[in-house]
Structure 1
Amino acid sequence: MKTILDEGVPRKIAGLLRNAGCTVDPFPNDWKGQTNGRLLRLVGSVEYSCLLTCDKNLAHQQNLVAAGSAVVVLLTHDLAALKEIIDLVAAAIGQAQIGTVGLVPSSRT
């Protein structure tokens, strides 16, 4: 599933996820400042189908099916912690389906 990072996700995670076999791009500069609803519609209207975010509320405030998007939520934005669980993040992206929300824990414990 082609994934795009949300604005608050560390950009360096894109390279780590590519190394783990994911198709992922950093947040586009021209998308900055979009509302959550508009952002999800943008994700679903272009070549992306999944948004990787740290915003725990985003998916519950929007209709993901109507937006044509899946959301994977990271429970941390700490790059060091994310490096430790990059395989879990990649697995969550791999299992994501349009209209669903996946949660990735902040650690293995």
Structure 2
Amino acid sequence: MRILLDECAPRPLKREIPDYEIHTVVEMGWSGKKNGELLRLMNQNGFTILLTTDQNLRHQQNLNQAGVAVIVLVSRSNRLPDLLPLMPNARTAISTIKAGQVIEIGDF
């Protein structure tokens, strides 16, 4: 399972998911790509999950057609200290999410 960490999420979150192959958008050279193109690149490169803080993605893209799953971290900001408490639930979601699904994890 390959996970892509969106560029709107802090890169140190990568350390919070040690049991999976995880890459950042920056590492892949995909910075600045629009969501549709990013999802297409993910699919072509064997990524199965996008970890993001972009709450609008599910309304902008057909995720079933894209063939990837999306985990959205919802917090008062996308700063690392605000997102770290969400990571235990994110790790659980990673192990159960299916292609086309969107799971929001937040402190709501």
Length-normalised TM-score, structure 1:
0.85
Unpaired runs of at least 5, structure 2: none
More strand by share: 2
Match of 2:60 in 1: 61
In the other structure, the counterpart of 1:42 is: 41
In the aligned structure 1, how far is the partner of 2:59 from the partner of 2:44?
A: 20
Aligned to 1:17: 17
TM-score (norm 2): 0.86
Residue 89 of structure 1: CA displacement? 1.2
Q: Number of residues paired by the alignment? A: 105
Query: Hey, what's the Cα distance between the residues in 2 that align with 1:74 and 1:3?
Result: 14
Query: Which residue in the other structure is 1:84 paired with?
Result: 85
What residue identity is the alignment partner of 2:58?
Answer: A
Q: Provide the alpha-carbon RMSD of the alignment.
A: 1.6
Query: Is the CA contact 2:68–2:100 (under 8 Å) kept in the aligned structure 1?
Result: yes
Contact 2:73 2:86 in 1 (8 A): no
Structure 1 runs, 4 residues or longer, greater than 3 Å off = none
The answer to whether the aligner puts 1:95 opposite 2:96 as a matched pair is: yes
Q: Give 2:90's aligned amino acid.
A: V
| Counterpart Cα distance in 2 of 1:36 and 1:26 | 14
